[in-house]
Amino acid sequence: MKKSKNGRRAIIAGIAGQDGSYLAELLIERGYKVLGFMKKGDDTSVLSHLLKEIVLEETELVQKDDIIRWTRIFSPDEIYNFAGLSFIPDSWDDPYRAIQVNTLLVAAFLEVIKDHCRESRFYQASTSEIFGAPPESPQTESTPHNPMTPYGVSKLAAHQLVGLFRKMHGIFAVSGILYNHESPRRPERFVTQKIARAAAEITKGKREKLKLGNIEARRDWGFAGDYVRAIWMMLQTDTPEDYIVATGESHSIKDFLQAAFKHVGLDWEKWVEVDPTLVRIVDVERLVGDYTKAREKLGWIPKVSFEELVRMMVDSQLQKIEVV
């Protein structure tokens, strides 16, 4: 394979997703050669502007032999893993699948790096869901883990495997404990994108109501484009460490509704219905991240505000309607 301008190569597992696509853009801008893993049938529309500059491989990634083959062919300097189940309710429907894709795949990557490409640096997409119902708020990297969903359990197992391999085998492996991060590339089934789409459709007369569950639920929401900067920075340091990536601000779904509908000149209360059947079985509380370590050691801070993020997502939905 042809060398990139700066000679650096990266593998992105889950490249067709929100985070993978933003990271691919960042790496291409920095002169990397990028190989992306994706599941068969994945929508590559978010990569359409990059298809001439990246190499894509369709694979389920559950076979360690595939990872060995591609690491030998591609000789990556960095490996970023975003692959896995990310929609939390799905983990209740199929906890076995959650463990399979969120935990066992990470074990396979770590084994391959240990045995075949020890110079490669590895990033694992961890999550605030490992804290679940935390004893303190905001959370830091040392806050005790207490996952409340099969998704959280599967991600915590992967998170701990990364720390274990780093300590026992001396490989450069880190976990980014990312809090909720959104963008116009967020899949439609996530509540933030549902709200953005509804606001756009209602203001254009294409919809009458939006039904939601618990609108008092609170999250620490940031912009995915900001967060991939922190992810890249984690692999550029001299010492591998885990970092929280967050905004340090808590907003409710009601706040998101208000900002989205205000952007199109509407009162959300006239258009939104609360449906008790949509309330999650278990919902986490007080998840707010303290990103002090990332700020002090990486020099990272979030740039896009909550209000800017909401407007960005609504504007994207309005553009989609105009195209149609």
pLDDT number for residue 64: 84
Whether 291 is catalytic:
no
Confidence of residue 305 (pLDDT cuts 50, 70, 90): very high
Sign of dihedral through CA atoms 81, 83, 84, 89? positive
| Confidence band of 94 (pLDDT split at 50, 70, 90) | confident
Which among 25, 80, 103, 127 is annotated as catalytic? 127
161-211 per-position pLDDT tens digit: 999 999 999 999 999 999 999 999 998 889 999 999 999 999 999 998 999
What 8-state DSSP symbol labels residue 129? G
- Give me the residue spans of the domains in the chain: 9-181+222-245, 186-219+249-282+304-323
Q: Is 143 a catalytic residue?
A: no
Note whether 102 and 151 are within 8 A (CB): yes
Query: Any idea which architecture 186-219+249-282+304-323 has in CATH?
Result: Alpha-Beta Complex (3.90)
**Are 68 and 116 within 8 A, CB to CB?**
yes
Query: Known catalytic residue: 269?
Result: no
User: Same CATH fold, 186-219+249-282+304-323 and 9-181+222-245?
Assistant: no
Are 162 and 173 in contact, with CB atoms under 8 Å apart? Answer: yes
Region class of 212: left (phi > 0), else alpha (psi between -120 and 50), else beta? beta
Q: Which residues contact 167 (CB under 8 A, 6 or more apart)?
A: none
Which region among 119-133, 197-211, 256-270, 279-293 has the lowest average model confidence (pLDDT)?
A: 279-293
One of 80, 123, 151, 179 is an active-site residue; which one?
Answer: 151
Indicate the DSSP class of residue 160.
H
Q: Kindly tell me if the per-residue pLDDT of 82 is higher than 90.
A: yes
Least confident of 60-64, 236-240, 247-251, 315-319: 60-64
From the candidates 78, 129, 182, 249, which is the catalytic residue?
A: 129
pLDDT score recorded for residue 3: 43
Write the DSSP string, 168-226: HH---EEEEEEPPEE-TTS-TTSHHHHHHHHHHHHHTTS---EEES-TT-EE--EEHHH
pLDDT at 6: 65
Quote the CA–CA distance of 278 and 271 in Å, as a whole number.
Answer: 17
Return the SS3 of 126. strand
Considering the segment(s) 9-181+222-245 as one domain, its CATH architecture is 3-Layer(aba) Sandwich (3.40)
